[in-house]
Amino acid sequence: MDERDSGKVAHDFDELEPLHEPMPKERAELPLEPPPGAAPAAGSQRRELDKAPLVLRKAAVVLLCGSILPWGSPEVSWVGSMAEKLVCYLGVWIFYQSHVLKHGGEVSGLVASLGRKGPGLPMIVAGVVALVGLLPLATSGGEALALFKTVTEKAFLLLAGYTFVHIFDYEHGGKFNPMFPLLFLFAAIGGFLSIFTVVPQMSEHGAGAVVALLGTLAVTAAGCMSAYTMFVALKEAKAHGEAKRATALEARKVAREARRQRQQSSEE
């Protein structure tokens, strides 16, 4: 290949667009994720939440409040059910505090003692406490179906608490897991079906069935809010995708214009 051919090939390659475009400014400014086990510095900038995670956090609060009521089976012992649910609440609180510690926040008491070397041990303790609360220890001896419903109530309580913590983690730079809003659909289905079992028991259980109905409605509403969350998330993802494509096209346009100006200046 002579010099003219090599020069022609080099000129042809100059006309090609680069494969790797410069990273858009908005993406370049996103905070880098810390390595596993490392806590970011205190006072780090929070991520501004979109509408979808905000609605999901509200749904988690509604489900958390509704799950404290015996919405699945009003005939189960309230004292035993409440005791087990309070243990689940304790597990959720320790789990939340461990994530506060993970992101450089200040904690006190038990979590501060357990988390001297990091948030790992408080997270393990939170899981053990939640598992103990999930077991039907104080409500044992009842009918199998009633015990199953009580365990389901506590499972949804833990789902609500973990979802709230997940949004907190996402707000401070973590990754969003779409499984959380999907699991809320089970709460919507379970709460809706429980309406048809709680309402016929009103004549027998009176005020207990009324309270259970309130809990059922709250759980169903939380599940419906989660379904709306997925709709909003899909809509926002489409908008973000269109914005990224527009940014990429604009970056290519700027790059072509810059190359054209460089070629003109070199020719002159």
**What tokens were used for 9?**
């090939």
- pTM summary value: 0.69
Percentage of the chain modeled with pLDDT above 70? 79
**What tokens were used for 240?**
């973000």
Distances (CA, A) of 256 to 13, 23, 220, 244: 13, 16, 54, 18
pLDDT at 52 (0 to 100): 84
pLDDT at 86 (0 to 100): 93
Query: How many whole angstroms separate alpha carbon 99 and alpha carbon 119?
Result: 7
Query: How many whole angstroms separate alpha carbon 191 and alpha carbon 221?
Result: 8
Query: How many whole angstroms separate alpha carbon 144 and alpha carbon 24?
Result: 58
Candidate from 25-29, 106-110, 130-134 with smallest mean pLDDT: 25-29
Is the pLDDT at 29 greater than 70? The verdict is no
Asked whether 84 and 133 are in contact (CB, 8 A), the reply is yes
What is the pLDDT confidence band of residue 190, given thresholds at 50, 70 and 90? confident
What is the pLDDT confidence band of residue 26, given thresholds at 50, 70 and 90? very low
Neighbour tally for 223: CB within 10 Å? 25
- CA–chain centroid gap for 219, Å, is 18
Asked whether 204 and 74 are in contact (CB, 8 A), the reply is no
Asked whether 67 and 149 are in contact (CB, 8 A), the reply is no
| Mean pLDDT (the chain, rounded) | 78
**What tokens were used for 127?**
């899981």
Asked whether 211 and 74 are in contact (CB, 8 A), the reply is yes
Q: What are the strands, taking DSSP E only, across the chain?
A: none
- pLDDT digits 0-9 by tens, 249-267: 888 888 888 888 888 777 7
pLDDT, mean of residues 24-47: 48
